C-alpha cells in the first residue's frame, strides 16, 4: 500500500464522509499491517528529506478512512522541535470515555491531510479527554488521559471515524469567535 499525498483521500471524495466500523478483536495481521503503515507515514512525514523524497505532507496523525479504509484505526506521533518523539500511538477502536466541559482550540487553527484548502478559524474541542483503545505498540488496552495539543489531535482523528472534518466545527459567520473560558493553545 502506497501512502502519499497523491493517494490520501481528499474531502472532494465523499468517501471521506463515510463512517468507520469497529475493528474485530483480536487484531488481524492485515489490520496491524495497515496501522503500522499509517504510523510509518506519520513518522516519515515529519522528516523533511523523506517527506520530500516520498511526497508526504507533514502530519501528526492519520485515520484509516484517509487511505480509503473505513475502520477505526488511528496512528499518532507527536515530536518535539528536535524531532524527538514525545508520544506515539497505533490505536485500534479508540473511543472517548470522558471529556471535560472546558473547551480548547489551537490558536493557529487545524489542518488535515484530506483538506487541501486552508480553512481558518477556531475549532473548539474538549480541553481534556480520556480515550480508551487497544494500542498495538504496547499490545494492550490503554487509557490515554490527554490535555493540550494531544487532546485536540485525538479528537480530530476520532472525528474522522464519524466522517467529520475539522472545518465542520468552525463558526461560518464568525470563524474566530471567542468562546467564554475556552483555552487558546499557542
Residues that bind Co ion (CB under 5 A): 112
User: 161 in helix, strand or coil?
Assistant: coil
Asked if 49 is an active-site residue, the reply is no
Please give the biggest Cα pair distance in the chain.
47
Which C-beta is closer to Co ion: that of 25 or that of 108?
108
Q: How far apart are CA 71 and CA 57, in angstroms?
A: 22
Q: Which is nearer to Co ion, 67 or 133 (CB)?
A: 67
Partners of residue 143 on adjacent β-strands: 132
If the CB atoms of residues 63 and 93 are measured against Co ion, the closer one turns out to be 63
- DSSP line for 14-62: GGGGSPPBPPPSSPPHHHHHHHHHHHHHHHHHTSHHHHHHHT----SEE
Residue nearest to Co ion (CB): 112
112 or 129: whose CB is closer to Co ion?
112
Spot the catalytic one: 44, 157, 179, 186: 157
Least spacing, CB of residue 66 vs Co ion, in Å: 7
Which residue's C-alpha cell is 500500500?
A: 1
Contact between residue 104 and residue 123 where contact means Cβ atoms under 8 Å apart? no
The residues assigned a catalytic role are 157
Amino acid at each position: 500500500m502506497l501512502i502519499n499525498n497523491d493517494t490520501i483521500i481528499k474531502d472532494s471524495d465523499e468517501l471521506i464522509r463515510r463512517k468507520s466500523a469497529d475493528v474485530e478483536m483480536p487484531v488481524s495481521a492485515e489490520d496491524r499491517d495497515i496501522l503500522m503503515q499509517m504510523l510509518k507515514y506519520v513518522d516519515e512525514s515529519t522528516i523533511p528529506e523523506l517527506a520530500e523524497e516520498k511526497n508526504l505532507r507533514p502530519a501528526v496523525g492519520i485515520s484509516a478512512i484517509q487511505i480509503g479504509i473505513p475502520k477505526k484505526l488511528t496512528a499518532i506521533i507527536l515530536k518535539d522541535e528536535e524531532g524527538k518523539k514525545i508520544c506515539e500511538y497505533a490505536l485500534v477502536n479508540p473511543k472517548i470515555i470522558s471529556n471535560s466541559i472546558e473547551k480548547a482550540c489551537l490558536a493557529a487553527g487545524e489542518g488535515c491531510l484530506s483538506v487541501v484548502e486552508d480553512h481558518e478559524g477556531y475549532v473548539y474541542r474538549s480541553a481534556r479527554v480520556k480515550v480508551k483503545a487497544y494500542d498495538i505498540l504496547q499490545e494492550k488496552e490503554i487509557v490515554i488521559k490527554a490535555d493540550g495539543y494531544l487532546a485536540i489531535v485525538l479528537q480530530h482523528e476520532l472525528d474522522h471515524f464519524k466522517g467529520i472534518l475539522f472545518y465542520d466545527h468552525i463558526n461560518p459567520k464568525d470563524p474566530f469567535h471567542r468562546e467564554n473560558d475556552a483555552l487558546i493553545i499557542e
